[in-house]
């Protein structure tokens, strides 16, 4: 039993007070976990663009003040009543896509989306409708059911999974979002098959993990596309067979023309990992007539809409989306950690930058720089 069990903990957190303003490091209080909840000592976070996106005010569900962060890893400090799957001392990864195993979605066998905590998670509160964080007399909202930019956080028992303590948490935390999302999108949602021709738009952590997924499935062509030439080496190191910078195409050609020519009629699978709705259209239209499938992974800014001519769909191209790579976190994430430890899934290379909680804003600057795949924040440095 930890000596903090049942007590309010005072610790440091990065608080986002309002959209468009940098986060500030504050002393906050974290209440004990209630029934069905888990309090986690957060050790590491990987910074993901989705946190920046919310901070900038582009997230349609974003509200303030809030503790952001959803790609983290830590150790269970205490658990509330009715928590059996994780125990004090377990190494855990919080899950922004919960898994209750009991709701209509979980039981459908058709999706990894779960409805158990969906409504309250979207409102930034715990499943009982209340919050666990306070700062300067104000309650702070939770974020994506995780709020890992705090040295301690409280999550629902459905939003956390225990992993082996053999996996270094400063790397395994990346499986809490970007890596699992991309790898799962290729291997589960799209279910890429041997010999497929594939194209991946956007080569951040998510796109590079799609590349890895296509490679593991023995895709024939893995065409990596990014406006940043520095991503070519990255993509090839993960298994890409080709790289195209769409701003440097032959005169009069579009990226769709180039991809259709390169793949003898279009791709079997394309993936949007940019969040740009114009790119999403290109990705669909670069699919092979009759069977090509385009998977949208990128999250577009509030109010954006996708467009294409319906004839693109009438003639057999399909549009689909993928959240957290179609992966059921509590059931399947430990297997991905095993793959990582067995050397089947590259994770370490994605950590290009490191910082501390006090200097988390530096991490956000690295992310804007174009050379940062993931910046890992040591929450206790
Ligand atoms: P990132 O910003 O690191 O990577 C995006 C890449 O896209 C960059 O390399 C950038 O140069 C490139 N890019 C930008 N515009 C482009 C264009 N017009 N054509 C080609 N490339 C272009 O982001 P990330 O962390 O890899 O995340 C990628 C996207 O996935 C984001 O939109 C993020 O919000 C989303 N996401 C979705 C899920 C999900 O579950 N669906 C999970 C995590 C992240
Ligand atoms: O169940 O209705 C629902 C929504 C589930 C949320 C899926 C989130 C996908 C994108 C998240 C951005 C990356 C962290
Ligand atoms: Zn469920």
Residues 5-37: tens digit of each pLDDT: 999 999 999 999 998 899 999 999 999 999 999
- Counting Cα atoms < 13 Å in the Cβ hemisphere of 335 gives 8
* Active-site option among 71, 77, 285, 332: 71
Q: What is the CA radius of gyration of the chain?
A: 21
* Active-site option among 11, 177, 273, 375: 177
Residue whose CA is closest, atom 13 of ligand 2?
50
- In the chain, where does the domain assigned CATH 3.40.50.720 lie? 182-324
| Residues with Cβ–ion distance below 5 A, ligand 3 | 100, 103, 106, 114, 116
Active site residue 70: yes
Cα separation, 289 vs 305, in Å, equals: 23
CATH H-level, domain 9-176+346-378: superfamily = Medium-chain alcohol dehydrogenases, catalytic domain (3.90.180.10)
From the CB of 50, is ligand 1 less than 6 Å away?
Answer: yes
Report the pLDDT value the prediction gives residue 54, as an integer from 0 to 100: 83
Cα separation, 221 vs 9, in Å, equals: 52
Q: What is the 3-state secondary structure (H, E, C) of the chain?
A: CCCCCCCCEEEEEEEECCCCCCCEEEEEEECCCCCCEEEEEEEEEECCHHHHHHHCCCCCCCCCCECCCCCEEEEEEEECCCCCCCCCCCEEEECCCCCCCCCHHHHHCCCCCCCCCHHHHHHCCCCCCCCCEEECCEEEECCCCCCCCECEEEEEHHHEEEECCCCCHHHHHHHHCHHHHHHHHHHHHCCCCCCCEEEEECCCHHHHHHHHHHHHCCCCEEEEECCCCCHHHHHHHHCCCEEECCCCCCCCCCHHHHHHHHCCCCECEEEECCCCHHHHHHHHHCECCCCCEEEECCCCCCCCCCCCCHHHHHCCCEEEECCHHHCCHHHHHHHHHHHHHCCCCCCHHHEEEEEECCCHHHHHHHHHCCCCCEEEEECCC
Report the pLDDT value the prediction gives residue 61, as an integer from 0 to 100: 65
User: Token pair of 144, please?
Assistant: 């994506």
How far apart are the two ends of the chain, measured CA to CA in Å? 25
Answer for the pair 78, 33: CB distance below 8 angstroms, yes or no.
yes
Active site residue 91: no
Residues 103-122: tens digit of each pLDDT: 999 999 999 999 999 999 99
Residues of the chain with pLDDT under 50: none
Pocket of ligand 2 from Cβ distances under 6 Å: 48, 50, 70, 96-97, 113, 118, 177, 299, 323
pTM for this model (two decimals): 0.97
Distance 98 CA to ligand 3 centre (A): 7
Report the pLDDT value the prediction gives residue 12, as an integer from 0 to 100: 98
Cα separation, 316 vs 74, in Å, equals: 45
- In the chain, where does the domain assigned CATH 3.90.180.10 lie? 9-176+346-378
Residue whose CA is closest, atom 9 of ligand 2?
323
Active site residue 375: no
Q: Positive or negative CA dihedral for 114, 119, 124, 129?
A: negative
CATH H-level, domain 182-324: superfamily = NAD(P)-binding Rossmann-like Domain (3.40.50.720)
* Active-site option among 4, 26, 29, 103: 103
């Amino acid at each position: 039993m930890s000596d903090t069990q049942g007590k309010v903990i005072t610790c440091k957190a990065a608080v986002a007070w309002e959209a468009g303003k940098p986060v500030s490091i504050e002393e906050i209080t974290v209440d004990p976990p209630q029934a069905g909840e888990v309090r986690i000592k957060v050790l590491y976070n990987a910074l993901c663009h989705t946190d920046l996106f919310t901070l900038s005010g582009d997230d349609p569900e974003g509200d303030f003040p809030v503790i952001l962060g959803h790609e983290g890893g830590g150790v269970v400090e205490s658990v509330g009543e009715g928590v059996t799957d994780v125990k004090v001392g377990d190494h855990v990864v919080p899950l922004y896509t919960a898994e209750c195993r009991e709701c209509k979605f979980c039981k459908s066998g058709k999706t990894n989306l779960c409805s158990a905590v969906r409504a309250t998670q979207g409102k930034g509160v715990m499943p009982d409708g209340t919050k666990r964080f306070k700062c300067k007399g104000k309650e702070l909202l939770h974020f994506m059911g995780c709020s890992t930019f705090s040295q301690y956080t409280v999550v629902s028992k459905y939003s956390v999974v225990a992993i082996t303590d053999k996996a270094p948490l400063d790397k395994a935390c990346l499986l809490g979002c970007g890596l699992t999302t991309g790898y799962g999108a290729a291997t589960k949602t799209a279910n890429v098959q041997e010999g497929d021709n594939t194209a991946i738009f956007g080569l951040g952590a998510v796109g590079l993990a799609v590349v890895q997924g296509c490679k593991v499935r023995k895709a024939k062509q893995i065409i990596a596309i990014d406006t940043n030439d520095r991503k070519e080496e990255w993509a090839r190191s993960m298994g890409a067979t080709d790289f195209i910078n769409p701003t440097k195409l032959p005169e009069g050609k579009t990226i769709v023309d180039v991809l259709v020519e390169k793949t003898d009629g279009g791709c079997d699978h394309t993936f949007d990992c940019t969040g740009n709705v114009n790119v999403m259209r290109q990705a669909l239209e670069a699919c092979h007539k009759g069977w090509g499938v385009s998977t949208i992974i990128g999250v577009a800014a509030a109010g954006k809409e996708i467009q294409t001519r319906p004839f693109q769909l009438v003639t057999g191209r399909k549009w689909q989306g993928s959240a957290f790579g179609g992966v059921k976190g509590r059931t399947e994430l430990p297997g991905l950690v095993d793959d990582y430890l067995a050397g089947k899934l590259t994770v370490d290379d994605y950590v290009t930058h490191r910082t501390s909680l006090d200097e988390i804003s530096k991490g956000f600057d690295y992310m804007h720089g174009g050379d940062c795949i993931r910046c890992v924040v040591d929450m206790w440095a």
